[in-house]
């Protein structure tokens, strides 16, 4: 009987020792999403990509890039995962690193939601307001009918971007809450 108890304790101890500690490492494929969309040209598709880089939460960054139809990078923005999380922590229930990583995965999925692709970026009837940083660019978009894209890197601010054919670069045409 004593040998059986010792054997049972040894098996339980071995099983517990072999159990790997909880980790926030994730499969990188879970943290990348791409979409194609007519953006810098009305007919040709550009590639939008959002990814979380880094293996541990403390080193993760959200990186958003756009590559034009000819393959050149035309836009890149990044924010640390910790900065992104800071703006949501007050209202969200994220108790541990696993919850935080799951939240980042949800943000990746939400990033290319259909409502973020704006066709066209600005319509003829729209007028600029206090959230328009560059009225000249805004008016250029009215004439060009190029598409826009809206994204957020915090709970309280959204960025609306579009291609400036005149300046040959992506610019913010609207910033809002």
pLDDT in tens, 105-142: 999 999 999 999 999 999 999 999 999 999 999 999 99
Sequence spans of domains, the chain? 22-176
Q: 3-class SS at 68?
A: coil
Q: Does the pLDDT of residue 39 top 90, yes or no? A: yes
Query: Which residues touch 46 (CB under 8 Å, ≥6 apart)?
Result: 36, 37, 38, 39, 40, 66, 67, 68, 69, 74
Query: Which residues touch 172 (CB under 8 Å, ≥6 apart)?
Result: 133, 134, 159, 160, 161
User: 84, exposed or middle or buried, with CB in 10 Å at 0-12, 13-18, 19+?
Assistant: buried
Q: Does the pLDDT of residue 17 top 80, yes or no? A: no
- Its pTM stands at 0.82
| Minimum mean pLDDT range among 29-38, 44-53, 138-147 | 29-38
User: CA distances (Å), 175 to each of 4, 5, 108, 150, in order?
Assistant: 70, 68, 20, 9
Task: Please give the pLDDT value at position 15.
Answer: 43
Task: Please give the pLDDT value at position 91.
Answer: 54
């Amino acid at each position: 009987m004593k040998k059986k108890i010792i054997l049972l304790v040894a098996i339980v101890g071995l099983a517990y020792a072999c159990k790997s500690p909880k980790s926030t490492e994730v499969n990188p494929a879970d943290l990348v999403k791409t979409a194609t969309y007519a953006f810098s040209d009305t007919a040709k598709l550009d590639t939008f990509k959002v990814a979380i880089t880094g293996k541990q939460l403390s080193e993760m960054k959200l990186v958003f890039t756009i590559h034009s139809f000819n393959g050149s990078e035309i836009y890149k923005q990044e924010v640390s995962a910790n900065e992104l999380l800071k703006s949501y922590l007050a209202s969200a229930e994220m108790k541990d690193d696993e919850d935080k990583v799951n939240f980042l995965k949800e943000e990746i999925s939400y990033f290319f939601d259909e409502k973020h692709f704006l066709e066209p970026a600005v319509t003829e009837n729209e007028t600029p307001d206090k959230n328009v940083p560059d009225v000249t660019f805004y008016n250029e978009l009215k004439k060009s009918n190029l598409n826009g894209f809206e994204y957020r890197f915090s709970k309280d601010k959204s960025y609306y971007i579009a291609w400036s054919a005149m300046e040959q670069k992506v610019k913010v045409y609207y910033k809002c809450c």
